[in-house]
Amino acid sequence: MKTRTIERTRLVPHTVDGQTEMVLDRETIEVPAPPRDWDQAVRVAVTIGAALLVTVSLTWTTASIGALLAMSVVAVVAYGAAVAFDAAWIMCMGVEWLLRSDPDRATLPRRVGHAALAVSMGAVFAHGYLFTGQWIVGAVGALVSTLAKGGWTIAMRAHTRPLDPLTQQWVAKRRAAVNGQLALIPIRRELQRGEALVEAEQRSLAALADSGSADPDQSGQSADGSDPDPQPTATGPMTIKDAVRTAVDSGIREPDRVLAYVRKVADANAREDTVARYIRLAG
């Protein structure tokens, strides 16, 4: 029986000069080695082989179609555009891989991938036939992409875990519930931003209404025209700093009165320490 060596640690009591402490004791032991998982090894090898086929196909298609397109545009642009032909069906295969447990949603990327593969094969065939005059060269060149896609399709089947119809419905319902919660996250953020904007607009309108509501009727004032609590004239929406400066310039220096004025014409939620700091700066 095959074995493997492992190191095991455990806490043991250790006494020195009558004082006992729990310390780590390390020991090396031999344990039975599990049998080699050949299924997993083959699965990994198939996946690596499929990835290599896709890489070879991408390189071959880019070189072939790039040479074809270079007849009409500069080489850099031609080879850059040539990457799109194989990249399209490779991207579709990636989406199909992500949706491998949802057959209904995986149908669309699979079909689009087949269409993109056909376009790529046609372009490679056109390059081979145009440059050699022999259709067999173009056909063989076009089969490279087919082999790569076939290899990756086989690799995906090796990793896919088929579900029975009832379990598939259960997964679909659970996924729909989670997706609904995820979809509501940006919606809630959008609503919160909108509500904040509406609230800010309402505060601004209230400040404008308060600052522009000077009483045109002076009949209620005393005959000598004196005002026991004079307030500076508000000229429009202000920042907290501007409101403090206006109050100080008008002779109001008591922190409570300045704070009340700032909350009236600038920001109803102005903090007392902020107003006090601006008072010190203005003084």
* DSSP codes of every residue in the chain: --EEEEEEEEEEEEEETTEEEEEEEEEEEEEEPPPP-HHHHHHHHHHHHHHHHHHHHHHHHHHHHHHHHTTTS-HHHHHHHHHHHHHHHHHHHHHHHHTTT-HHHHHHHHHHHHHHHHHHHHHHHHHHHHHHS-HHHHHHHHHHHHHHHHHHHHHHHHH-----HHHHHHHHHHHHHHHHHHHHHHHHHHHHHHHHHHHHHHHHHHHHHHHT---S--TTS-TT---SS--PPP-S---HHHHHHHHHHTT---HHHHHHHHHHHT-TT--HHHHHHHHHHH-
Q: What is the pLDDT of residue 232?
A: 55
- Do 42 and 156 sit in the same domain of this protein? yes
Q: Report yes or no on 118 lying in a domain.
A: yes
What is the residue range of 28's domain?
A: 3-32
pTM of the predicted model, to two decimals?
0.57
- Do 43 and 157 sit in the same domain of this protein? yes
Q: Report yes or no on 225 lying in a domain.
A: no
Q: Is 251 left (phi over 0), alpha (psi -120 to 50) or beta?
A: left
Please identify every stretch of the chain with a pLDDT value under 70, giving residue numbers as ranges: 1, 210-237, 283
- Do 118 and 63 sit in the same domain of this protein? yes
Q: Report yes or no on 247 lying in a domain.
A: yes
- Give the count of domains, the chain: 3
Q: Report yes or no on 90 lying in a domain.
A: yes
- Do 157 and 244 sit in the same domain of this protein? no
- Do 157 and 254 sit in the same domain of this protein? no
Q: Report yes or no on 177 lying in a domain.
A: no
Q: Report yes or no on 20 lying in a domain.
A: yes
- Do 100 and 43 sit in the same domain of this protein? yes
- Do 127 and 69 sit in the same domain of this protein? yes
Q: Can you read off the two tokens belonging to residue 88? A: 């399209």
- Do 111 and 13 sit in the same domain of this protein? no
- Do 54 and 152 sit in the same domain of this protein? yes
Q: What is the pLDDT of residue 279?
A: 80
Q: What is the pLDDT of residue 64?
A: 92
Q: Report yes or no on 60 lying in a domain.
A: yes
Q: What is the pLDDT of residue 52?
A: 94
Q: What is the pLDDT of residue 212?
A: 54
- Do 27 and 54 sit in the same domain of this protein? no
- Do 96 and 141 sit in the same domain of this protein? yes
- Do 10 and 116 sit in the same domain of this protein? no
Q: Report yes or no on 178 lying in a domain.
A: no
